[in-house]
Amino acid sequence: MSEIWTRMMSGEPYDAGHPELLDKLQTTRKLIYEFNNLSPERNDERMAIIRRLLGGCGRNIHINSPFRCDYGCNIVVGENFFANFNLTILDENRVTIGDNAFIGPNVSIYTACHPLDATTRNKLVEWALPVTVGHNVWIGGNAVILPGVTIGDNVVVGAGAVVTRSVPADSVVAGNPARVLRKI
């Protein structure tokens, strides 16, 4: 691994405009474009692209188009994974999603963080924190999962939730910011 990639994956500040990262982003965007523009009946080809793109995935997965991500290789999804339309994953760090995950439409998962100071932010300095989603999780439509969050097993994330903190297993969370509403 290169120094810039190691910095990014370790959560340290890095130059998001580094040529190596921009080249990798461009390569990923080509694969995403190909995936999103294939006809639905060409599912074998679509899945072959996803398997090339992701860092790992179970055998039984389905991702509706359009799908977007930054690098792809930092995303690992388990068995029986379903993602509805418009899943966006900004995977500047690891995104791990367990088995039997169901993701509603327009869900966004972010690992990238940006400085509050505009001068530093304008220099394309950022850092990234991993996101982990457990097994048997249902994420409702329009939910947003922020950097550094871990969602435990058997969690339901309500539609429109903004998950800013880690969520314990066997919980229902909703709201902005998301709060535990009850245990399951």
Active site residues: 114
What is the percent of the chain with per-residue pLDDT over 70, rounded to a whole number? Answer: 100
The residue segments making up the domain with residue 60 are 3-179
Which CATH number covers residue 21? 2.160.10.10
Burial class (CB in 10 A: 0-12, 13-18, 19+), 113: middle
pTM score, two decimals? 0.97
- Could you tell me if residue 131 is inside a domain? yes
- Could you tell me if residue 184 is inside a domain? no
- Could you tell me if residue 54 is inside a domain? yes
- Could you tell me if residue 75 is inside a domain? yes
Report the number of distinct structural domains present in the chain: 1
Express each pLDDT in 47-92 by its tens digit: 999 999 999 999 999 999 999 999 999 999 999 999 999 999 999 9
- Could you tell me if residue 9 is inside a domain? yes
Express each pLDDT in 86-127 by its tens digit: 999 999 999 999 999 999 999 999 999 999 999 999 999 999
- Could you tell me if residue 85 is inside a domain? yes
- Reported in sequence order, the residue ranges of 44-170 that DSSP labels E, i.e. its strands, are 56-57, 61-63, 67-69, 75-77, 81-83, 87-90, 95-97, 102-103, 108-110, 112-113, 125-128, 131-133, 138-139, 144-145, 150-151, 156-157, 162-163
Give the residue among 53, 45, 48 at the shortest CA–CA distance from 29: 53
